[in-house]
Amino acid sequence: MQALSTLIIIDKNSVQPVYLQIANQLMVFIKDGNLQASHRLPSTRQMADWLQVHRKTVIQAYDELLAQGWLESRTGSGTYVAKHLPEIHPRSLLNGSAKPINPAHTAGFEFETLPHLATPPVWSKQKHHLDDGFPDSRLAPLEELARAYRSQLLTGNPYVRLGYGDTLGSLWLRQVLASYLNDTRGLKITSENILITRGTVMGLYLSCTAFLQPGDIAVVGELNYNGANMNFLQAGTRLLKIPVDEHGIVVEALADICRKQRVRMVYVTSHHFYPTTTALRADRRLELLKLAGQYGFIIFEDDYDYDFHYLSKPLLPLASADKAGMVLYCGSFTKSISPAFRVGYLVASENVIRHLAQLRRIIDRQGDILLENAIAELLQNGIIQRYLRKALRTYKQRRDVFCDLLKSNLSNYVQFQVPVGGMAVWTHFDPAIDLNILSQKALQHELYFASGYRNDDLSPVLNATRLGFASSTPAELESCVEIMVRLLKGG
């Protein structure tokens, strides 16, 4: 025991009390088998002498281990390692041959790593950014939101406002949102048709988990959102890809698949197709709904940036014309206000919403009710609507500025179509340009943009990526293009 005591290291500068340092290290000795069950510990006086600490400190350490059940006190005999502990074969304390184990780094059990989950999340800390198409948080009604959130935090019955809520989400938000979506999206729903989520990805995950079985067929475009593909692969589906052209997914290719195989779900970003930002043409919308009714597959409609359409009024979503109850319609305030505000919504038939709410409960009991109510207040008072109108004008101006900059400065290197909506430009680079190398060089000059899309088989051929303009001012966009020009010209 005296030899073990020499291995106890006491750090007088640590924020952890000395008695806990002693107790924790003795506990490790017991766990590692270096102190076996029923082993007698030295007296508190003897241990204090070995460790050069006050006896009361050792008493506190012993008392801590007694309370936790690692030690036991025998009247008139002393303090012992608890006899009920199992026998543990000790590991060498010094110069042992056993391979060191670091459980903080590597688990002791095996598990399968899935390649479709290997895509790392992306966020930019660079001064300049041409991102995936994010909103400018500087435009968001933050002061109004802060006041509304504070009001929710401090007023009303604290047991209710700070307790558990409905798994479906804030009733107030669902009621206001139903009215808002009916007015702006042409839907005909009530609060019972809405499940509040953390965003569209959560809505898709719940839908995949609830309605897909391993081996089911899910259909997406050859170009598609990687997060959607990951969800389908995680659900164990057979992921089939259909061609994409300037009008979105080729629905006739989907019809060919349906005539041969049973399709369970089709994922579509019908308004501003991801990643190209083109709109799904009207005849294809009608045909897609017709096929869903005929063959019985679910349409998951991800309407991630409905509010930002620049030519005319936005096209109404597929859900507005769904007479057969085949569409799951999902949107969020993430792309409208800021990615930090994790509030989204999934719209479907009432029985579907109830089913999804049961599933949601086991992974996320409820969302941020305070934030949901604060957003409900802003929606009800028209603040979000005014913000969206202002943001639409601002983003249109930034789109025009950015496209002019690309045309006047980078026409020898890139090709693109001016997007009719959304917050990014789908940009094709000259085949001689290595987008991966270019993006890495850009990072060294405080500019972030994606190196090209990893979410489809066409990326190496297309040599294209999304360049987001909405989150940068005209002056910032000019700086971004200047950096790209210097890099492309070898500067």
CATH of the domain at 42: 1.10.10.10
Does residue 8 sit within a domain? yes
Whether residue 69 is found in the same domain as residue 176? no
Does residue 23 sit within a domain? yes
Cα dihedral 279, 285, 287, 292 in deg (nearest 10): 120
| SS3 at position 13 | coil
Domain that includes residue 450, residue range: 128-133+390-488
Q: Give the mean pLDDT of the chain.
A: 88
What pLDDT score does 88 carry? 67
User: Which residues make beta-bridge pairs with 329?
Assistant: 301, 347
What pLDDT score does 455 carry? 46
Whether residue 50 is found in the same domain as residue 182? no
Does residue 93 sit within a domain? no
Answer with the residue of higher pLDDT: 133 or 4.
Answer: 133
Does residue 404 sit within a domain? yes
Token representation of residue 135? 């909103």
Whether residue 275 is found in the same domain as residue 292? yes
Whether residue 224 is found in the same domain as residue 313? yes
Res. 187: pLDDT tops 50? yes
What pLDDT score does 99 carry? 60
The arithmetic mean of pLDDT across residues 75-88, rounded, is 84
Whether residue 321 is found in the same domain as residue 195? yes
Whether residue 329 is found in the same domain as residue 368? yes
Whether residue 372 is found in the same domain as residue 394? no
Buried b (16+ CB within 10 A) or exposed e, 184-216: bbebebebebbbbbbbbbbbbbbbbbebbeeeb
pLDDT band at residue 402 using 50, 70 and 90 as cut-offs: very high
Does residue 105 sit within a domain? no
Q: Between the ranges 73-77, 102-106, 466-470, where is the mean pLDDT highest?
A: 466-470
CATH number at residue 450: 3.90.1150.10
Whether residue 288 is found in the same domain as residue 332? yes
Whether residue 40 is found in the same domain as residue 8? yes
What pLDDT score does 114 carry? 82
pLDDT band at residue 364 using 50, 70 and 90 as cut-offs: confident
Whether residue 362 is found in the same domain as residue 311? yes
Does residue 109 sit within a domain? no
Does residue 99 sit within a domain? no
pLDDT band at residue 460 using 50, 70 and 90 as cut-offs: low
Whether residue 378 is found in the same domain as residue 295? yes
What pLDDT score does 281 carry? 87
Q: How many domains does the chain have?
A: 3
The arithmetic mean of pLDDT across residues 209-232, rounded, is 93
User: Residue 117, exposed/middle/buried by CB under 10 A (0-12, 13-18, 19+)?
Assistant: exposed
**Residue 464 falls in which region: left (phi positive, over 0), alpha (psi -120 to 50) or beta:** beta
Q: Quick one: how far is CA 98 from the chain centroid?
A: 40
Res. 392: pLDDT tops 70? yes
Which H or E run contains 172?
helix 171-185
Res. 162: pLDDT tops 90? no
CATH number at residue 149: 3.40.640.10
Domain finish residue from 331, 360, 385:
385
Domain finish residue from 359, 385, 411:
385
pLDDT band at residue 15 using 50, 70 and 90 as cut-offs: very high
What pLDDT score does 161 carry? 76
Res. 302: pLDDT tops 80? yes
Answer with the residue of higher pLDDT: 262 or 370.
Answer: 262
The arithmetic mean of pLDDT across residues 74-78, rounded, is 88
The arithmetic mean of pLDDT across residues 313-328, rounded, is 90
Whether residue 214 is found in the same domain as residue 309? yes
Domain finish residue from 352, 385, 418:
385
Res. 307: pLDDT tops 70? yes
